[in-house]
Amino acid sequence: MVERSLTAGPFHWLGLLAVAFSALAADQLTKQIVVTQLALGESVHVVGPFWIRHVNNPGIAFGLFSSWASAVTFLTAGAVVWMLFYFAKSGARHPILPVALGLLIGGSMGNLVDRLRIGHVTDFLDLKYWPAFNLADMFIVVGVAALLLALVAAERQPRMKRTPSGRPAPKTLA
């Protein structure tokens, strides 16, 4: 029996890079629009509880660890490198992996670019009852959710019965 390689092939890498660069570009474009159109702290009501509000966030989610900006930057960069190594070894494991990791990498890179370029992250999506966030944050959350769903789906798939030697058991008519 031939084992299938889990190593990411060119098609997997193309998918990952397309998603990651699209997420990074969308994030950086929307942040640039907010920075050029709204003064810091300025808001524009969109609909219902949804506002666009220009906010600077030196920390991570909810403004946590704002005094640890350097550590957050290094951890983010390390996480991106780890995700790329993981993808290289396991990119063919599941069809959703290029999209999920592409969103995670693109979102992480979007916020990392802000930290390196201007020393903080620009947030602008404000629901009034939740701290402001940005597209990169959304991409990260959706990427994590997609990974979790893929893991749950993989665990629910029926496994082929194997004999003690490790070979698949012959099919029986029942």
Q: Tell me the C-alpha distance between 172 and 21, whole Å.
A: 49
CA distance 69 to 60: 9
How far apart, in whole angstroms, are the C-alpha atoms of residue 150 and residue 97? 8
Q: Look at the alpha carbons of 133, 135, 138, 144 in this order and tell me if their dihedral is positive or negative.
A: negative
Give the active site residues.
123, 137
Q: 10 Å Cβ neighbour count for 6?
A: 12
Determine the Cα–Cα distance for residues 79 and 85; give it in Å rounded to an integer. 10
Q: Is residue 108 within 8 Å of 116, Cβ to Cβ?
A: no
